[in-house]
Structure 1
Amino acid sequence: MSSLNAGNGAQSLPSLRTMFRLQWEATQDAYVLLYPEGMVKLNPSAGEILARCDGTRELDDIIDELEDLFGASNLAADVYRFIDHARQRGWLD
């Protein structure tokens, strides 16, 4: 089980670090994560996850929104895994 499930309130409200900016790029037809050294083009699911990481949503609420958006269930493990990856990359607080 991920450390995100440990009940730490700060970790359950993910937010982008201030040096990063997420935006939709029509020319890329994708979300991109911009930072001083460059840009990361995100796949659709990563973009949708990060778009909800604004520091105001609980991780469980983000998962519920994504399951509704994609018409899927049991996305929690995948979302936790991506959030862990994004934190390791330094994208999220």
Structure 2
Amino acid sequence: MSLTSLERVPSIRRGFRLQFEPAQGCHVLLYPEGMVKLNDSAGEILQRIDGRRDLASIIEELRASFPGVPGIDEDILAFIEVAHAQFWIELH
């Protein structure tokens, strides 16, 4: 099975917390050793990761929220791979 199989269900890794940080003006991913400042696209994707929805559902929701964005599916999957490699998320 591919790392980014659309049936996989991502979740934020234990010990990490996503929140909007007004002082930064963006979403951040907090963890015991620090903080990752996220761009708008990363924040939009991570907000939808709840440990219940599979990647196909998340992609469909983002596609509906941002119609007409070329290559959005590939961009989301590329981010998911990076987030997984950085240990920000787990894939079940």
Tell me, yes or no, whether TM beats 0.5.
yes
Give unmatched runs, 5+ long, in structure 1: none
Alpha-carbon distance between aligned partners in 1 of 2:84 and 2:35, rounded to the nearest angstrom:
17
The question of 1:86 aligning with 2:83 is answered: yes
Length, aligned pairs only: 88
4+ aligned runs moved over 6 Å, structure 1? none
Within 1, Cα distance between the matches of 2:59 and 2:12? 17
State the percentage of identical aligned residues: 49
Q: What are the equivalent positions in structure 2 for 1:57-76 lying under 5 Å apart?
A: 57-73=53-69, 74-76=71-73
Counterpart check, 1:47 vs 2:43: yes
RMSD between aligned residues: 1.5
Segment of structure 1 superposing worse, 39-48 or 70-79: 70-79
Q: RCO higher in 1 or 2 (8 Å CA, sep ≥ 6)? A: 2
Greater share of residues in strand: 2
Give me the TM-score of the superposition, normalised by structure 1. Answer: 0.85
The residue number in structure 2 matching 1:56 is 52
